[in-house]
Structure 1
Amino acid sequence: MALRTLLYRYFFFGWLFRDASTGTALERAAAWRHNRSQARWLPTYMRRWMCCGLLLYLMGVLVESVFSAPLLSTLFYVTGLMSVPGNAVMAVAWIGFKALSGPF
């Protein structure tokens, strides 16, 4: 598998899930069951995003304190901050798959 594909699959979870909004009722139910079973991987993705966000934040602190470059450190702070909404989306999806009985 190509490195680009591996990196995509390491950070983004969309490839794990099936579309539960199309097809017959049986196909939608099967897709929902599949998605519920795949939701077990969402905490893993949340940890990855949290670790990357924390690492980028620490790099921003390092660049700002050691190199006295606040403008450059902003690049690391803002990039690291983007892990917060990503984690929020993953948490809502995970809770939704655990709490909801299905789309029907």
Structure 2
Amino acid sequence: MTSEHQPPPTAEPGSDHPGPELSFGQLLYRFLFFDWLFRDVNAARDLFERHAARQHNQRMSRYLPVYLRRWSVLAVFDFGLGVLCEKVVQATVLSAWFFTWSCVTVTGMVVITVAWLFLAFARMP
């Protein structure tokens, strides 16, 4: 007996054709990291491909605030777990682990913000 309900295939934002099904690891990676959305401008062979890649990257920069929100939730979550482990559980090593990860996520938030500012507000020559 076959199932009538199948989940919709995943696709890249802005594309008309559906992509292949993603594994959980790939889906989690795409949920947290945004590099798969962008094209490498330096890999372009000529000026037209470079311009097209830059335009594509500027269009995809509209998704960076979504990733910024995701990473800010991670930072607050990690910081909250660090406070919980330090104050309630009295586990200093575990709290240091969570505080370290909150610093890493805040650093990621800075990278996302800078990338978004450079891409969203850059003028095309």
Bucket of the pairwise TM-score, normalised by the shorter protein:
over 0.9
Highest RCO, 1 vs 2 (Cα 8 Å, sep ≥ 6): 1
Determine whether 1:8 maps to 2:29: yes
CA drift at 1:83: 1.0
Structure 1 residue matching 2:41: 3-state secondary structure: coil
Cα deviation for residue 80 of structure 1 reads: 1.3
* Cα distance in 2 between the residues matched to 1:66 and 1:99: 45
After TM superposition, the score normalised by the length of structure 1 is 0.93
1:1-104 to structure 2, matched below 5 A, reads: 1-21=22-42, 22-102=44-124
Runs of 4 or more off by more than 2 Å in structure 1? none
Q: What is the letter of the counterpart of residue 122 of structure 2? A: L
- Quick check: which has more Rg, 1 or 2? 2
What's the TM-score once normalised by structure 2's chain length?
A: 0.78
The secondary structure found in structure 1 opposite 2:40 is: coil
**Cα distance, 1:23 vs structure 2:** 1.6
Deviation, 1:29, is 0.6
Answer 1 or 2: which has greater helix percent: 1
Q: What is the Cα deviation at residue 20 of structure 1?
A: 1.1
Letter in 2 for 1:33: Q
Aligned residues: 103
- For the residues of structure 1 that align with 2:49 and 2:88, how far apart are their CA atoms? 57
RMSD: 1.1
Say whether the 8 Å CA contact 2:62–2:120 is kept in structure 1. Answer: no
Q: Is there any run of 5+ residues in structure 2 with no aligned partner, and where?
A: 1-21
Tell me, in whole angstroms, the C-alpha distance in 2 between the residues paired with 1:99 and 1:72.
41
Identity of aligned residues (%): 38
Structure 1, 9-18 or 62-71: larger mean CA deviation: 62-71
